[in-house]
Structure 1
Amino acid sequence: MKILARLVFGLLILDAALTAPTIEPINYNSESYDATFEDLDNLYNYENVPIDQGEIERVTVMLSGNRELLTPAPQPDDVQEEDEDEESTPRLIDGSSPQEPEFPGVLGPHTNEDFPTCLLCTCISTTVYCDDHELDAIPPLPKHTAYFYSRFNRIKKINRNDFASLNDLKRIDLTSNLISEIDEDAFRKLPQLQELVLRDNKIRQLPELPTTLTFIDISNNRLGRKGIKQEAFKDMYDLHHLYLTDNNLDHIPLPLPENLRALHLQNNNILEMHEDTFCNVKNLTYIRKALEDIRLDGNPINLSKTPQAYMCLPRLPIGSLV
């Protein structure tokens, strides 16, 4: 019986071995990887694996020194959020920004050093402040500049084109520079100029000035006896304040505008005054009501020698009466 049982068991094993499928050998060819990958796909088939059982994460490679860092790549939702953040964040406009053409003139014209004036100086609306920047020349100004301040610099000359085409310019203040020369047409063609301050410089000759001026301060310069042209202020009907102190002047520049309120001539070299300097000797009823502030102190003139020169004034000049 045992022999018969062993014989039946052996026949069953033989039958199972003969009916089992045979696996063809895989040939790895280093010169043809395509065939190898196809064989592997046939051998390992993942078509029946549910997609939700695995989670695929895309990564990008970032270099850090000599190491590679793997960081998750931004998903589509993240990218959209970043774009929205960029659109909502205001961007700084600077001199090198590609957006600058959308805002023409924001930083003003460029200087000779190819640097925008409004980065070198300070521009607030139509006012440009260039005080104490060691400038040796007038920088190019924005077209609509109305008020220009460049005090405590090293400017030596004012050229005819420094203020060209600045039709809105109303005030120029160049106090405490080294200006010794001014071109004849530097100010004459400025149609709106009202206030000109050139005090504490080295000016020897005033150029022709626009008749629109209401305020002039050229104190502490070197005008001397020939620095002011004859009748330089005659047609300035709106001139209210004229300050010419410390200039070594030897005379009062005549004629003076009718609406002049203040005339400061202290610390000069004025020796004499005529009776018609302020008044009209042919009309004894004439009164110059506006001129209430005349300073002649610090001059070698004796005011008591010409009493008729002040009869039309509301107040006597300040100066020596002895």
Structure 2
Amino acid sequence: MWTLAWLGIASLCLGTSWAVPAKERRKAEKPKAHLALYENLDLDNYDLTLDNYGEILDLSNYEELYDYGDLAPKIEVGTLAPRPKDPVAPPDLGATAGTPKLQLLSTAGPVPPAPAPAQEKLKRIDLSSNSISRADADAFRLLPSLQELILPENRLTALPELPRSIMRLDARLNSIPSAGLRPEAFRDLKQLQFLHLSDNQLDYIPAPLPESLRSLHLQNNNIQTMHEDTFCDSQDHSQVRRALEDIRLDGNPINLSLFPNAYFCLPRLPTGRFF
């Protein structure tokens, strides 16, 4: 009877040992298995690098030796985006002594003119490749230091009044007719050197032109005729306009050979049709 009792107790202990989860048994066996990697290996005699790391250490059972399942963070998946943070108020730029506050422009009323110092420093304006169809008459006239006004590839049908400081006007690829130019629009622009009005709808060459002009591009318009006084003073045959060396009239229906007395003061003949 005592023999049967001892056999029951032994079987109960054996069953308890097998009831331990396999995962726990693997954890208990890991230190021994880990030592097996380095068994009979003298690391002092090896130079461990990325190239020979796999040859020195056996990584074939790496996943069995190290189970990181318990260390993986739990991720909760939701459908709502996190609440955005409250916007941070911009700093008060007027808090510093001597620094003026910024004035925001509103579309509800007229835009105030720029301060005088900004007007005096502005020398170049580039508004090319937009959809501008109109410019106020005084949009650029009150800029005393403006030297370059770049307006190609817009929808302009008229040119505004220009400041006398202008040196370069580029209004190519618009829809400006001769009626869109003020009478004698360029006469008083004594510093104008480059006047480019090609690819518009001009019917005649805008004259008089200032003596300072060096380049005049009027190609691809609808110019059909000109006066003998367009470039030169027909009453003064001693006149020489050495600066005006680049005149382009190609792409117009005008026959330049019909006006032989119009070029005597020029260093070069205009480019265009002579037949």
Q: Is the 8 A contact 2:142 2:163 kept in 1?
A: yes
CA offsets 1:251-277 (integer angstroms, 9 cap, x no match): 011100001000000000000111111
CA offsets 1:119-161 (integer angstroms, 9 cap, x no match): xxxxxxxxxxxxxxxxxxxxxxxxxxxxxxxxxxxxxxxx985
Larger strand proportion, structure 1 or 2?
1
Larger helix proportion, structure 1 or 2?
2
Higher relative contact order (CA 8 A, sep 6+): 2
Q: In structure 2, what is the Cα distance between the partners aligned to 1:162 and 1:240?
A: 28
Which 4+ stretches in 1 moved above 6 angstroms?
A: none
Q: In structure 2, what is the Cα distance between the partners aligned to 1:164 and 1:177?
A: 26
| Identity among equivalent pairs (%) | 50
Q: 2:91 is matched by which residue type in structure 1?
A: S
Q: Is the 8 A contact 1:161 1:186 kept in 2?
A: no
Q: In structure 2, what is the Cα distance between the partners aligned to 1:247 and 1:315?
A: 24
Match of 2:125 in 1: 172
Which of these residues, 280, 297, 301, is aligned with residue 250 of structure 2? 297
1:226/1:112 CA distance change after superposition, 3 Å: same
What TM-score, normalized by structure 2, do the two folds share?
0.61
Question: Unaligned 5+ residue runs, structure 1?
Answer: 1-93, 114-158
2:231 is the counterpart of 1:231: no
Q: In structure 2, what is the Cα distance between the partners aligned to 1:274 and 1:99?
A: 60
Match of 2:91 in 1: 97
Matched pairs, number: 183
What TM-score, normalized by structure 1, do the two folds share?
0.53
Q: In structure 1, what is the Cα distance between the partners aligned to 2:208 and 2:111?
A: 27
Match of 1:282 in 2: 235
Which of these residues, 252, 255, 274, is aligned with residue 208 of structure 2? 255
Q: 2:203 is matched by which residue type in structure 1?
A: D
Q: Which structure's CA Rg is the greater one?
A: 1
2:197 is the counterpart of 1:244: yes
Map of 1:16-35 to 2, 5 A cutoff?
none
Q: In structure 2, what is the Cα distance between the partners aligned to 1:167 and 1:205?
A: 25
Q: Is the 8 A contact 1:195 1:216 kept in 2?
A: yes
RMSD of aligned C-alpha atoms?
2.4
CA offsets 1:14-51 (integer angstroms, 9 cap, x no match): xxxxxxxxxxxxxxxxxxxxxxxxxxxxxxxxxxxxxx
Q: In structure 2, what is the Cα distance between the partners aligned to 1:285 and 1:186?
A: 40
Structure 1 residue 288: deviation in Å? 0.5
CA offsets 1:182-220 (integer angstroms, 9 cap, x no match): 111111111111111111111111121111101101111
Match of 2:78 in 1: none
1:110/1:315 CA distance change after superposition, 3 Å: same
Q: Is the 8 A contact 1:162 1:186 kept in 2?
A: no
Q: In structure 1, what is the Cα distance between the partners aligned to 2:235 and 2:270?
A: 21
Q: 1:302 is matched by which residue type in structure 2?
A: N
Which of these residues, 178, 182, 201, is aligned with residue 135 of structure 2? 182
1:185/1:305 CA distance change after superposition, 3 Å: same
